[in-house]
A = this chain, B = another copy of it.
Amino acid sequence: MLKISKKTDYALMALQHIASVQFGDVTPGRVINTKEIAEEYHIPLELLAKVLQALSKSGLIESHNGPKGGYLLARSAEQITIAQILESIEGPLGLTDCSHEKDGEFCMQREHCNIRTPLLKVQDSIYQLLNSMTLHNMMGGTPLITIQSPSVQGVDR
């Protein structure tokens, strides 16, 4: 399935919203609070709060306490990539467990494994894709983005 979790969905929606308000034309620089986002997109408030906490902890957004408080992007929308958002919520991304094995851990199949190398290449390619797309790309107008279809070349093609 390769699905991303709902939390990640919520994170993407929230960040997109924050970015579009913060850098929009109507009320630029306005601070956004959790409740506003939750109501706008029909997301459970408490769960969204946890998601925003995680984003804040990993430095993508900064929080402001007290009344009239809320969240702001910690850096510009151009400097926030989808890969960063994903990793903030779901941890290091990888198709396989063996792609981030620590010392001592060991995959039983490892020494006989015939698919590790090609999978790592695919994984790397997906990572580059996610890392080349920024929050800013996701915002605004209709054409949004154009993706060149990536290609994989076999040894004898």
Q: Does A118 contact B137, Cβ atoms closer than 8 Å?
A: yes
Give chain A interface residues in 90-142, CB to chain B under 8 Å. Answer: 90-97, 108-109, 112-115, 117-119, 121-122, 124-126, 128-130, 132-134, 136-138, 140-141
User: In the complex, what residues of B have CB within 8 A of residue A115's CB?
Assistant: 9, 12-13, 16, 138
In the assembled complex, A26 has its CB within 8 A of some CB on chain B: no
Copies in the complex: 2
| Chain B contacts for A143, CB-based, 8 A | 155
Residue of B nearest to A113 (CB): B13
Assembled-state Cα–Cα distance A119/B22 (Å): 22
Assembled-state Cα–Cα distance A128/B97 (Å): 23
Main secondary structure of the interface of A (DSSP, over half): mixed
Alpha-carbon gap, A93 to B96, bound state (A): 16
Is A148's CB within 8 Å of the partner chain B? yes
Contact between B117 and A144, CB atoms less than 8 A apart? yes
Partner of A126, one of B2, B121, B134, B155: B2
Which A residues form the contact surface with B (CB < 8 A)? 1-4, 9, 12-13, 16-17, 20, 40-43, 82, 86, 90-97, 108-109, 112-115, 117-119, 121-122, 124-126, 128-130, 132-134, 136-138, 140-141, 143-155
13 A/B residue pairs, CB under 8 Å, sorted by A:
A1-B93, A2-B2, A13-B109, A20-B114, A40-B112, A122-B129, A122-B133, A122-B147, A124-B147, A126-B129, A129-B129, A132-B152, A136-B154
